[in-house]
Amino acid sequence: MVSQKKYVVGITDHMIGTPDLEADVLGEDVEIDFFASTDETRFDAERLARLDALMVWGARLGPKSIAHLTRCKGVVRYGVGYEKIDLSALKRAGIPFANNPDYGTEEVADHAMAMILSLHRRLWEHDAHSRSYVSSWQVNSLKPLPRANRTTVGVVGVGRIGTAVVNRLKPFGYRILGYDPGQPPGHEKAIGYERAERLDDIFTRSDIVTLHCPANEETRGMLGADGLARLRPGAILVNTARGELLHDLNALEAALRSGHMAAAAIDTMEQEPPGNHPLLTAWREREDWLAGRLVITPHNAFYSDHAAVEMRHNAAQTVRILLDQGRLRNRVTT
């Protein structure tokens, strides 16, 4: 005898196969409606109207879809960011929203740390140039190359991931500045960094700047031409947070070409996959002037085999708690 399904949970799309793990967490009384699309225009109104909860991976969710979620008790995003979710429309519809912040912290922090160490030690530049050395070898050390304990790292956003980065930086001896107006006084003492009262202090005092803040009205485009110009000469920039923080590729190209910036490492871009731009062409074609100075990874700083399971499990568990208890953990309010 087939058990009667009590709830219907929608999943818009999925990066990793079919939602079998989610089905195990949600339980036998839940029917999963898998839309299998990131294209919001393809979401059927009748299917949306059946849902008791909706899980979203990479799809956008706007007013037209939200208007059909007439029995939905909550929307849960698999990831941390929610720029593609219309929170105002959800609020008007009386539907609570939650993200999934408690996964992948270690992975993003490790990824950022790998970028920081590799660019600081100029590993990719050495690798690129070493291919052409024939008559000499060890004498070809690139300069400048300061010690870690003579180098200041500015951390923009000292939340979960930013804090994990600070904890990884300390054993190497880096001087650490942190900027996060959302953290209470004394947070810097508990974690172990020097608090910067202004974002500009991070830009002007740091040899390396690493971004770990959300994209919002205050932070979008903060490293455009003006922001990049305020960086110390020879600075290194690492972005594993949001592509919208650094959306002016013209300014980034100018800063790298002029030498004002030593290098940059980017995991998230405003357009993914990235389109055509002279800077990206130079990166793709390994042009000499940029060799080893621009590192781009495909928005996978969050990923490990363990984190992928953790993310799916945690998001599904959030929905299960909502269905059982009427409580939405990790709720985002505006």
Neighbours of 272 (CB within 10 A): 11
Encoded amino acid at 185, one letter: P
C-alpha 166/C-alpha 115 separation (Å) is 14
Residue 174 token pair = 């880096």
Establish whether 187 is a catalytic residue. Answer: no
Q: Buried (b) or exposed (e) across 117-134, using 16+ Cβ within 10 A?
A: bbbbebebbeebeeeeee
C-alpha 157/C-alpha 183 separation (Å) is 9
CB 33 within 8 A of CB 54: no
Given 28, 83, 218, 272, the catalytic residue:
272
Q: Which of 65, 309, 28, 24 is nearest to 75 (CA)?
A: 65
CB 261 within 8 A of CB 235: yes
Establish whether 277 is a catalytic residue. Answer: no
Residue at token pair 């013209």: 250
Given 299, 313, 329, 331, the catalytic residue:
299
CB 96 within 8 A of CB 74: yes
Residue 12 token pair = 């818009």
Q: Which of 162, 172, 155 is nearest to 109 (CA)?
A: 162
One-letter-per-residue 3-state SS of 139-186 = CCCCCCCCCHHHCEEEEECCCHHHHHHHHHHHHHCCEEEEECCCCCCC
Establish whether 195 is a catalytic residue. Answer: no
Contacts of residue 217, defined as CB under 8 A and 6 or more positions apart, other chains included, come to none
Given 120, 212, 242, 293, the catalytic residue:
242
**Active-site residue list:** 242, 272, 299
